[in-house]
Amino acid sequence: MMTSNSVQEAFEQKKDKIDEIMRKYEGQEGSLIAVLQDVQDLFNYLPRPSLVYIAERLHVPIADVYGVVTFYSQFHLNPRGRNIICCCQGTACHVRGGKHILAELEKQLGIKAGNTTDDQKFTLETIACLGACGMSPVMQINGETYGRLTSDDISRILASYE
């Protein structure tokens, strides 16, 4: 888990890159979303110091910045792993054991859904439906779909991302 000091240090180390991003969009009205996307690419999430800095540089209230960040699901306020796991919990997956796949992922990763491993390797999320019902139960890692899963498949799949 990142402390507020380490978050501030990471921000300070990348402040020059944030300034480059800000210059790239200088004078462009409505550039907040593009700036946030680029800054999130730097950190893999949007740390609070970067949001405050962006608000100051764009001369917009911090509440407006938070409003955009919390409205769009593409933005994240907490650190995310290098590998994003989406475990389907839709009807077909549920009926075919999706809850067991999720439980196995949580057990092997040592986290609950919605969290990131301490080493920042994996973020585990659930999704209502991945649209691959014919292959249920399914999960995606970084957009790659794994279907007809059993609990025995999980360690082999996770190991390929280590």
Give the chain's radius of gyration (CA, Å).
Answer: 18
3-state secondary structure of 39: helix
Instruction: Tell me the CB-side half-sphere exposure of residue 69, using CA atoms within 13 A.
Output: 24
For the stretch 105-109, contacts whose Cβ atoms lie closer than 8 Å and that sit 24 or more positions apart, written own/partner, are 105/139, 105/154, 105/158, 108/154, 108/155, 108/158, 109/158
Report d(CA 131, CA 119) in Å as an integer: 30
Q: How many residues are recorded in the chain?
A: 162
Strand residue runs (E) in 6-159: 83-88, 115-116, 122-127, 139-141, 144-146
Please indicate if the annotation marks 93 as binding a ligand: yes
Please indicate if the annotation marks 129 as binding a ligand: yes
Please indicate if the annotation marks 88 as binding a ligand: yes
Binding residues: 88, 93, 129, 133
Binding residues for [2Fe-2S] cluster: 88, 93, 129, 133
